[in-house]
Amino acid sequence: MSTVFQTQQLAALNASNGWLTAINEAGKAAFAEAQWPSRKTEAWKYCSLKALADHAFDAAATASTTAEQLAEITQIAGLDAYQLVLVNGQLQAELSSAMALSQVSLFSGADAEQQTLIADRLQQARLQPGHHLFNDLNDAALADGVLVQIGKNSRLDKPLQLVSISTGDNHVVNSRVIVVLETGAELTLIEQFASLANDSSFTNNQTEVLVGDNARFNHYRLNLMESDARFIGTTLVDLQRDANYDSFHLGLGSVLTRNDLIVNHNVGGSHAEIAGVYVPKDSQLVDFHTDIEHRVAHCTSNEVFRGIINDQAKAVFNGRIHIHKDAQKTLAELSNKNLLLTNKAEINTKPELEIYADDVKCAHGATVAQLDNKARFYLQSRGIGEQEAQVMLSFGFINELLDGLKVEAIGDWLRPVLAHRFGRDQVFSAEQTGDL
């Protein structure tokens, strides 16, 4: 039995997209047959899809926006980056920097060699653990995408900032990004998802990354959409020998924000550093499903997620670590801490460890934390009221992770945004404290 959503999406698919037809067909067949997830579907147990199932989506985007509006929501003040802007899935050359444009290719403009590379990545993605029906839909609808390729021992001198904005009410955007870092390459990529207020469209994103031997990839995935936006995103990361993946994930919160992150340690010596923050409020839902696959020996991973859940919002964190039988000498750490600000706020947190190798170190912890009484007393002993102390400490709980960001401008920019969320505006601007 398919849902209205499935029927509508199938009907909206284009007949053929040239060399992508094979993947379109595979996705379409799987999507048509897929069971709509329910509370009995393990991977979606706490993630209600009501916001999709009960919603009538239109085929095409209608709303129009001004360049000023767009500029306002794409800016990260203080960030010096090459910007690439996609509006409702369409690349906006006039809003993008020439340098950024020269660094990326569209699938639609791919040469034969790139087509082979892309097709291979797309095929690989279909075999990944946790593959779900929205990945199938993404394959089925795939007509274009963004390819970022950094050549051997090369790097961009600034971060690449990829902004995806949805502006129209009610449409569906399937977006696809493929990143390939060749041996010794380096890239900082900021994926920023934004929407206009009251935009209730659905973004179904998939980003696939291949980090080659000894390459370094710094990745920021920022879900900054307004409350009505629906978002489901998958990030697939393949790490080759001595590859380094350093990432930060933010879920500001919306009626549906679901993120899956799968990191594959494919060859020895690779390291993954993963941090994340989610702060849903009102009736929002944020779900992070992460899966670290230690397939080979001598790899390390460190994952820290923190959430603050306000009002009657709901958050889900499922952190899987899978240490395969040959993955000896693995070091894997996972920590998830949550603060519930009201007694209606909800968190479902679950570490999921599957360990088949015997010589490994794997530490994990998932907690619903209490604010530290000692810290609160310290603030009060300096004249700060109990309520304000509570707010400062809640903000501090996640700001700790912002303090650790490599691209400081992102932390500086997010700090006031998040502080405002907790009802306490920051007094000092980044400019004021810049020289400290």
Partner 1 sequence: MISIKNLHAKVEDKPILKGLNLDIKPGEVHAIMGPNGAGKSTLGNVLAGRDGYEVTEGSVVMNGKEMLELEAEERAREGLFLAFQYPVEIPGVSNLEFLKASVDAVREHQGKPALDSVNFLKTAREKIKSVNLDQSFLKRGVNEGFSGGEKKRNELMQMMMLEPQLCILDETDSGLDIDALQVVANGVNAMRDPNRSFIVVTHYQRLLDYIVPDYVHVLADGKIVKSGGKELALELEEKGYGWLENGEA
Tell me which residues touch partner 1 (CB under 8 A): 372-375, 377-386, 388-389, 392-393, 395-400, 403, 426-428, 432-433, 435-436
| Gap between the Cα atoms of 35 and 132, Å rounded | 10
Indicate the residue among 120 and 372 with the shorter CB distance to partner 1: 372
Nearest distance in Å: CB 333, partner 1: 18
Nearest approach, Cβ of residue 419 and partner 1 (Å) = 9
Q: Which of 137/392 has CB closer to partner 1?
A: 392
Cβ atoms 179, 212 nearer than 8 A: no
**Residue 51 in 3-state DSSP?**
helix
CB of 343 to partner 1, least distance (A): 21
Residue among 189, 208, 216, 186 at smallest CA distance from 125: 208
**Three-class secondary structure assignment of 137-196:** HHHHHCCCCEEEEECCCCECCCCEEEEEEECCCCEEEEEEEEEEECCCCEEEEEEEEEEC
* DSSP class of 35: P
Q: How far is the CB of 374 from partner 1 (least distance, A)?
A: 5
Q: Between residues 171 and 337, which has the closer beta carbon with respect to partner 1?
A: 337
- Cross-strand bridge partners of residue 350: 318
The residue whose two tokens read 């394959």 is: 139
Q: Where is 272: in which H helix or E strand?
A: strand 271-278
Q: Least distance from C-beta 416 to partner 1, angstroms?
A: 11
Q: Is 41 helix (H, G, I), strand (E, B) or coil?
A: coil
Cβ proximity to partner 1, 33 vs 386, nearer residue? 386
Report in angstroms how near the CB of residue 434 gets to partner 1 at its nearest. 9
> Does the CA dihedral 393-410-89-195 come out positive or negative?
positive
Closest approach, Cβ 341 to partner 1, in A, equals: 16
Considering the complex, state which of residue 66 and residue 370 has its C-beta at the smaller distance from partner 1. Answer: 370
Query: Among residues 155 and 376, whose Cβ is nearest to partner 1?
Result: 376
Q: What is the DSSP letter of 2?
A: -
125 or 339: CB nearest partner 1: 339
d(CA 16, CA 200): 28
Give me the least distance between CB of 358 and partner 1, in Å please.
Answer: 35
CB of 250 to partner 1, least distance (A): 15
User: 199 CB contacts (<8 Å, ≥6 apart)?
Assistant: 63, 166, 167, 168, 169, 226, 228, 229
356 or 378: whose CB is closer to partner 1?
Answer: 378
Sign of the CA dihedral running 95, 101, 104, 108: positive
Q: Which is nearer to partner 1, 297 or 392 (CB)?
A: 392
414's tokens: 């997010």
